[in-house]
A and B are shown apart, each in its own frame.
Chain A
Amino acid sequence: MPINLWIISSLIFILLRIAPGDPIDAILGSGADQEARELMRIKLGLNQSIKIQYINFIKNLINLNLGDSLSNQEPVIQIIRNALPATIELGLFSILIAIFIGFPLGFVGLRNKNKKYDYISRIIGISSYAIPPFWGAMMMQLIFSVILRVLPIGGRFPIAENPHSITGFLILDSILKNDFNAFQGALYHLALPSITLGFLLSGIFSRSLRLNLEKAYKSDYVDAATCRGINEKNILYNYAFPNALIPIFTITGFAIASLAGGALLIEVTFSWPGLALKLQEAILQRDYNLVQGIVIVTSIIIISINLLIDIMIAFFDPRIKY
């Protein structure tokens, strides 16, 4: 993990420096004179050589110091701490919705193999891959917000109300505060972005469940169970499904990684104040420290989740040993 992080952080450091654009232009605009630019460059430490900047960056990173944002001088860790709960909340609900949509579709497809429902479930599954996230999000906004007017077009909480701020997870905070109105408000705003992202991810789950379940049904242990007279429901829940789930754990890891990319478009379209939106803004402003910080934190999360999934797989499948 430390080696992975060192490679990622070094890569992002180098890529940002070789990318065109200058944080000074983003901060001062194109109208600032040379003197003002130089002063700002010194203030932000960008006048030092790339080598010294890199050494300082790695030194700070070892001390868990991600530095201050170049554009607003706030600690990067604070900005991440404020934005991360929104992204996690959206990601978590999206995965749940993806499972809620994907698993039944996979089941229905398999149970009605090569029949009408199978084709429908396949079309839905493939559509969820094929639909560009920004277009899907805009269509959802158009249908549910503009035409039907049942869900808000964006934001994380009702405009006129103050959210409780304990953990930063608004749904959890409203539960902790026992505020049903705030809970409804948070859920109401979370619904559209999480359903959209969940639908876009559901194809991965429906396709993989269908394939793995089909594979499990063809295996010897299912044949043996059938011969022993175990009923269909028991075979599904105790034999086929647990075995089909193991590869899905791995896929969930990939889904979470792809969530980081998908969430960007969803967060921008739904004005969801999460980490992906911050990353986009930081890239536009060439805020090196913030981009580096967000990429490193996201990498840590993805690596940790994948590690956790590997441990879970080893726990559930005794054949796997590390």
Chain B
Amino acid sequence: MHKLKYYGRIVSITCAVIAIFSQYSCTKKVNPSQNIIIASSGKIESIDPARASTLKSYQLLNALGDTLYELNNEGELIPKLAKYKPIISNDKLKILIKLKKNILFHDGTPFDSYAMKFTIERFQNIGTLNYILNKKIKSIETPTKDLLIINLNKPSSSIKGLLTSINLTPISPKFYQDHFDKFLNNNFIGTGKYELKRFSNEIQTLYPNKSYWGNKTKNKGINFIGYNSSSALYGAFISKQVDVLLSNSIEDTLRYGLNLLNQKEDIKEGKSEPIEISFISLRTNKKPLNNNDIRLAIAKSLNRELIRDKVSFSLRNSASSLIPLILKKDNSVSWPDFDPKGAKRIFRDQGYCDGNILNLPLTFRSNVPTDKLIAFYWQQSIKAEMKDCFSISINGVESTTIYKNLSKGIYPLVILDWTGAYSDPEAYLSPLLSCEKFIENHCLKGESVFSGSFWASEKVEKLFKESESLEGVARLNKLLEIEKLASKSLPYIPIWTSSQKAWAQNNISKPIFNGAGIIKMSELLKNEK
């Protein structure tokens, strides 16, 4: 009897706890939030445009603010807060931008050229990525409230790309007056379609800006949430705890699972143009990779199709170029294709094979799951096709350590990826190929040192300089010429390009992206039924 009483107590306590939870979870199901819940991986440390450097913070800033220009899916410049396309002076040292009038910040103050000047100067002063801008901009003038003049140090055609940069999203000078020289991490006052109602590193709540100057949002608000693991993100979406899953960083097996659900029409999938490029960097300043033929043989040993199929389940596009296709319209420049026989022939000509096997270490970022698989499949493919000539030994190193050591020339072969800071071919070529100081083809100081290739070319530097003073097709041709030189000298071997993807429950409209890979949150529509 006593025992029965004891167990009875335990059962009643357990029932009470379950009742609390079940009542709560039922309440939540009956009264779902009218806001759309978008989940993504990681969290946002700062909502300050001067500090933002992650795709997630860009996504949020894009919803909360407007840039002067935006790129459409064709890569064309579309005025947003600017009235027209920028006018460039004949000497290409002045950029005139006419601004739209009657636009208000979320705090009610007007947006004008002074606000834009304040934003750019603040970014130059404290911006984390201000090194991109500081060398280019000499001064900023504001002759009238709706005219902005940017004076450049030297002609630069890429400045137009920079004007689409989310880091230059205008902010209210009044609100940020005490934060000109320091970050404001947890608040944002811009001109965008949404206003920030709540900010924590994990959850951000956005409500529509009722006095927005342009098209209004199609939804009643957004809750933006971050989960720390791929599995939690996937689980939250599958169990319908979130409406939209937005992430390029979830593992490929989970992407594949979502792709299957999309094919069965259980969910909707939206994707951006592929703008992230994964590649192998080859250390060209030391033996044996200082030999162009060896680099060519290695490039021919890479079976991109096998890697694409096995690692990404054919969900990524194998790449034979350093510039994403959207930014160059055609695929005229191409890296060598997989050709094991050709690779073996070159290795043999260089004195390898038949007992003399060239072994190189391949380093990959241990915290990037796909990198390990790329390394593994490449290693196995080489083993199957040319084990008597060439082999690679694979080593995983945490990404921060790799970035630190790249410029020290520690890694002969290393897998990396890159997304341009702005949507322009130059944003892909310059950080990988440009070099300030070099001897013959070896870079001593410059961007290619920091990318681990140490490759340099006088001709490439000349073409970069020439491209600065050109525009349109002429400029693009110069940049393609640079890429062509790189495809012959092979300091890098492209692997694949990746798109940003978003998946929505069936009661939500299909997610769409702009040309910079940013989801258009305001276009998401929730079917209340």
Contact = CB atoms under 8 A, between A and B. Distances in A.
Given A30-B451, A31-B447, A188 B225 contact: no
A142 B239 CA distance: 10
Interface of B: 20-25, 28, 33, 35, 37, 43, 45-46, 51, 53, 128-131, 182-183, 185, 198, 200-203, 205, 223, 225-229, 231-232, 235-236, 238-242, 367, 397-398, 400-401, 403-406, 416, 418, 421, 431, 445-447, 450-451
Contacts of A20: 397-398, 400-401, 404-405
Given A22-B400, A159-B37, A188-B24, A153 B129 contact: no
A153 to B, nearest CB: 5
- Prevailing SS type, chain A contact patch: loop
A191 interface: yes
Contact of B225 (A27, A35, A159, A267): A159
A111 B226 CA distance: 47
Contacts of B130: 36
A38 B129 CA distance: 13
A1 interface: no
Contacts of A25: 400, 403-404
Residue of A34, A35, A154 with highest tally of chain B CB at under 10 A = A154
Contact of B45 (A33, A72, A149, A159): A72
Interface string A1-45: 000000000000000000011100111111111111001000000
| Max chain A Cβ within 10 angstroms of own Cβ: one of B203, B242, B397 | B203
A150 to B, nearest CB: 6
B131 A33 contact: yes
A154 B37 contact: no
Interface stretch (A47-55, A198-206, A269-277, A306-314): A269-277
Nearest to A141: B235
Contacts of B236: 145, 153-154
B261 to A, nearest CB: 14
Contact of B223 (A28, A153, A160): A160
Contacts of A269: 228-229, 231-232
A146 B404 contact: no
14 contacts: A20-B401, A21-B401, A28-B128, A33-B447, A36-B130, A72-B45, A151-B25, A152-B241, A153-B236, A159-B225, A160-B205, A187-B20, A188-B21, A284-B367
A31 B33 contact: no
Given A32-B131, A160-B33, A269-B228, A155 B203 contact: yes
A270 B225 CA distance: 13
Contacts of B418: 31
Nearest to B201: A273
A91 interface: no
B450 A32 contact: yes
A51 to B, nearest CB: 21
Nearest to A184: B24
B183 A35 contact: no
Interface string A129-162: 0000000001001100110011111111111101
Counting chain B CB atoms within 10 Å of each CB, the highest count among A29, A156, A191, A268 belongs to A29
A269 B28 CA distance: 23
A160 B223 CA distance: 7
Given A30-B451, A159-B223, A191-B21, A273 B202 contact: yes
A185 interface: yes
Nearest to B54: A29
A179 interface: no
A37 to B, nearest CB: 9
For chain A, give the interface size range.
35 or more
Given A36-B131, A138-B231, A269-B229, A153 B24 contact: no
A159 B33 contact: yes
A138 B201 CA distance: 23
A284 B53 contact: no
Contact of A154 (B200, B227, B447): B227
A145 B241 contact: yes
Contact of B131 (A30, A35, A72, A187): A35
B371 to A, nearest CB: 14
A210 interface: no
B405 A155 contact: no
Given A72-B183, A188-B21, A153 B401 contact: no
Nearest to B451: A30
Nearest to B18: A150
Contacts of A159: 33, 37, 203, 223, 225, 242
A286 interface: yes
B24 A185 contact: yes
B258 to A, nearest CB: 14
Contacts of A28: 128-129, 131
A270 B229 CA distance: 8
A72 B239 contact: no
A270 B232 contact: yes
Nearest to B2: A233
A33 B231 CA distance: 36
A46 to B, nearest CB: 13
B239 A22 contact: no
Nearest first, the 5 A-B pairs at minimum CB distance are A36-B131, A160-B33, A21-B400, A25-B403, A20-B401
Given A28-B129, A30-B451, A141 B37 contact: no
A73 interface: yes
Contacts of A152: 241
A145 B21 CA distance: 13
B235 A142 contact: yes
Contacts of B53: 29
A158 B28 contact: yes
B239 A188 contact: no
A187 B238 CA distance: 23
Given A269-B232, A271-B229, A30 B403 contact: yes
Interface string A100-128: 00000000000000000000000000000
Contacts of A286: 400
A71 interface: yes
Contacts of A160: 33, 35, 37, 205, 223
Q: Which of B129, B242, B416 has the largest count of A CB atoms less than 10 A from its CB?
A: B129
